[in-house]
Amino acid sequence: MANISEASLKSALTERLKAAHVEVTDMSGGCGQSFTALIVSPEFEGKNSLKRHRLVNAALKDEIAQIHAWSAKCQTPAEYAKEMAETGGKDGPPLDGTVGGKVDGVNA
């Protein structure tokens, strides 16, 4: 079983989805069991949210099978650029249900 990390997921997403921008956050405190990501890829053009997530899940099939929790925000380059302009660059992976970006109850 391969060790899953922020770096390995970022590399896989960048390569497999031709992603222009990827941010991956380990929300499990470093144990590699819960990740969230922001993925910006031209592969998402013309696809609704469900199809985008299916594309990501297919690209990370082996990795997702080894972790406990996974969430992703999927945007096209144009959507990402628009959001960055609107938020002043303060966007990132979804951190819903976390305390300070970490899963509550994890001691790491």
In 61-107, alpha helices (H):
61-64, 77-87
How far apart, in Å, are the Cα atoms of 66 and each of 4, 42, 69?
8, 27, 9
| Per-residue pLDDT at 79 exceeds 70 | yes
Domain interval for residue 16: 6-86
| Residue 6 near residue 60, CB atoms below 8 Å | no
Domain count, the chain: 1
| CA–CA–CA angle 31, 3, 58 (5° rounding) | 105
56, part of any domain: yes
Tell me whether residue 15 is in a domain. yes
Is there a contact between 11 and 37 (Cβ–Cβ < 8 Å)? no
State pLDDT tens for residues 24-61.
999 987 777 899 999 999 999 999 999 999 999 999 99
> Do the domain assignments include residue 77?
yes
Q: Return the higher-pLDDT residue of 108 and 12.
A: 12
Q: Kindly state the average pLDDT of the residues 74-93.
A: 83
Q: Which CATH number characterizes residue 71's domain?
A: 3.30.300.90
